[in-house]
Amino acid sequence: MTIIKKIIKKIKDGSLSEAFLECKWIYGYAFKYKLSILVYILFGIAGTAMGLGSSIVSKILIDSVIVLRYGEEAAKSMAVTTGAYPLYITATAYVLMGLLTIAANALMSRISAKIDIKVNNEIRADIYDKILDADWEAATRYHSGDLLNRLNSDVSVVSSSVLGWIPNLITKLFQFAGAFFVIFYYDKTLALLALISAPFTIFVSRTLMKKMRQYNKKMKEASSKMLAFNQESFQNIQTIKSFGMVKSFGDRMRDVQTEYAGIALDFNKFSVGTSAVMSLTGMAVSALCFGWGVFRLWKGFISYGTMTMFLQLASTLTAAFASLIGLVPSAIAATTSAGRLMAVSDLPKEVYENEEAVDELMMDSAQSGVYVELSDAEFSYKSGNAVFKHANFYADAGDIVALVGPSGEGKTTLMRVLLSIVNISAGRAVLGIENTGRQVDVSAASRKLFSYVPQGNTVFSGTIADNMRMLKPDASEEEIVEALKLACAYDFVMKLPDGIYSPVGEKGGGFSEGQAQRLAIARAVISDAPVLLLDEATSALDVATERKVLKNIMGHSKKKTCILTTHRPSVLGVCSRVYRISDHKIEQMEHEEIEVLLKDF
């Protein structure tokens, strides 16, 4: 009754149901490999059967040697109850079973590797897709280092558990049951003695299970924290060096390590103590079984062959039971990791709407261009930070429209709204074609109508050509060169030894900020989307180059709509319209106000 009450309590508090859901989630991925898993289980059972058979054959082999050596009458006095079998038959059977065991184990290892790799890749790709496809604000609640840890460490733990839990449970149960019944057949007392440690081991495992889940969660969190710190440090090496913070970051790294080490050593202390007690118990039981076997041998109740078999099977029985108990911590580790992966896979997804309408608009935009309009829009981040209230904005096809205003007032947020990275809570944000009256609401699907150059260095590692073809995989060399020319990047690229196939380091390594910005602009231009968004994308360029880049882009496509944010009024002279963003408002500036900005700058 007490056990039933405890189970009911666990169901009510959610711990068992949570673990069940996590196991169900894991085997949702493994289900498509059910035939391979079944073959793995069958080979495991076959290998176990061969191992048990080897023990029985070893008994027969030893007893046959005794009969042949001392004769049947003398052998009977040594408790040998069977006659002599031809040694070549028993020896061949023994070797054959050993070889079959090796073959079964080898095949299991091969199947295990294939399933592990396939499940690992499938889960990792699926979680990767779900993170990228998740609502941006929801995803940013997790540090990128934590996401990396989940994507790598947790996925590896889960994929290895596919064969490390249910299939191993079945094969180890078969091994345990087989060894027990063979021993029980020959000596009931010895079989019962071999099980003496079972109640104690189960009790210890219950305690271990409670602690294990807690420690697993703590260690995963600490590991994520360490990975996040390392990643952030390496991404900002230049800043760390520039501010002379190398030593302080080294100290912080050691603090993070100390925190992780404390948790790991606490768990290790607990595990070592538990393992030592269980090992002592196992040793005591083994000694008891050995002593009983020696006593039975001395009294003449069993033969030397039977004694040898007992020793082998008692060891097998103890190992199988220990393996079954050992599945508990591995299952806990797997379900803990599964829970962490489920948390990110259940993030709310972006909404793709009106994809057909967007495609139609894209086709018509080549001739007419696209306008962008915000009407009475409101937006606040989920943190509660209000950005826009009753905001209105318009950019017509062929216009260059600038957004100005103090830092932190919403210029970049407006870009995110247009790209549907974040979504307005009221009003409308639409894209349309003026002379047809066709329009679509801004959504994740409408991003194909935009080319975007965000703030900062957004060039990826690879080659210049790799970067250019990210938005247009089939872009020819001529198209790449044309885009580089429009972005005023062609001259410095052609001076490189490998031209457009020159390597680019992480975050544009090997190029200046201005060069990296021009490469990013060229990458956006090559997609030839009807709307170009430049978020401080020319901040590292001199005024003359900035103006030339904008004139090149707009001259290349008369119907392209360009929306840019800037802190430099020098570019405002080429803009059709200028909006100021401040105090939760988006207001169009008059010509006189723009003149004042230019004069003050």
pLDDT one-digit tens code per residue, 436-462 = 778 899 988 898 899 898 887 788 888
Place of tokens 């994308």: 537
Task: Specify the pLDDT at position 8.
Answer: 42
pLDDT digits (tens, 9 = 90+) for 55-67: 888 877 777 777 7
pLDDT interval class at 498 (50, 70, 90) = very high
pLDDT attached to residue 2: 47
- Please determine, for residue 15, whether its predicted confidence score (pLDDT) is greater than 60: no
Find out whether 340 and 150 touch, Cβ atoms under 8 Å. yes
Q: What is the pLDDT of residue 395?
A: 92
Q: What CA–CA distance (Å, rounded) separates 504 from 518?
A: 13
DSSP character for 369?
-
pLDDT at 194 over 50: yes
| pLDDT for residue 78 is more than 70 | no
pLDDT in tens, 512-527: 888 998 999 999 889 8
* 337 CB-near residues (< 8 Å, 6+ apart): 150, 153, 154, 155, 157, 158, 216, 220
pLDDT at 493: 92
- What pTM was computed for the model? 0.78
CB atoms < 10 A from the CB of 436, how many?
12
Of residues 313 and 341, more confidence is placed in: 341
Q: At what angle do helices 197-235 and 304-345 cross, to 10 degrees?
A: 40
Please tell me which residue, 241 or 519, carries the higher pLDDT value.
519
Instruction: Work out the end-to-end distance of the chain between its first and last CA atoms, rounded to an integer number of angstroms.
Output: 82
Please check the confidence at residue 13 and state whether its pLDDT lies above 60: no
Of residues 90 and 586, which shows the higher confidence score? 586
Percent of the chain past pLDDT 90, that is, above it, reads 11
CA-CA distance, 314 to 45, in Å (whole number)? Answer: 18
More confident residue, 470 or 353: 470
Comparison of pLDDT for 191 and 376, the residue scoring more: 376
Closest to 358 (Cα-Cα) out of 471, 445, 472: 445
What is the mean predicted confidence (pLDDT) over 345-352? 86
Which is it for the CA torsion 307, 313, 314, 319, positive or negative?
positive
CA 374 to chain centre: 38
Q: What percent of the chain has pLDDT over 70?
A: 91
- Read off the pLDDT of each residue in 100-122 and give the average, rounded to a whole number: 85
Instruction: Tell me the average pLDDT across 346-366.
Output: 85
228 falls in which pLDDT band (50, 70, 90)? confident
Give me the chain's average pLDDT, please. 82
Region 576-584 average pLDDT: 88
pLDDT tops 90 at residue 289 = no
**pLDDT band at residue 74 using 50, 70 and 90 as cut-offs:** low
Split at pLDDT 50, 70, 90, the class of 83 is low
Among 66-75, 101-110, 322-331, 403-412, the least confident range:
66-75
**pLDDT average, residue stretch 192-221:** 70
Measure the CA–CA gap between 577 and 394, rounded to whole angstroms: 9
The continuous run of DSSP H or E covering 571 comes out as: none
Name the residue with higher pLDDT: 170 or 483.
483
Query: Is 90 exceeded by the pLDDT of residue 466?
Result: yes
pLDDT at site 176: 83
Residue 84 has pLDDT above 80, yes or no: no
Structural domains in the chain? 32-345 (1.20.1560.10), 355-600 (3.40.50.300)
pLDDT band at 12 (very low <50, low <70, confident <90, very high): very low
The pLDDT of residue 14 is above 50:
no
What is residue 374's predicted lDDT score, i.e. its pLDDT? 92
How many C-beta atoms surround the C-beta of residue 7 within 10 A?
11
Q: What is the DSSP letter of 349?
A: B
pLDDT of residue 286: 73
Identify the CA nearest to 376 among candidates 72, 586, 550: 586
CA 80 to CA 221: how far, in whole Å? 61
pLDDT for residue 3: 42
Residue 190 has pLDDT above 90, yes or no: no
pLDDT at 16: 59
pLDDT of residue 7 exceeding 50, the answer is: no
pLDDT score, position 9: 46
- pLDDT of res. 543: 81
Provide the sign of the torsion angle of the four alpha carbons 433, 434, 436, 442, taken in this order: positive
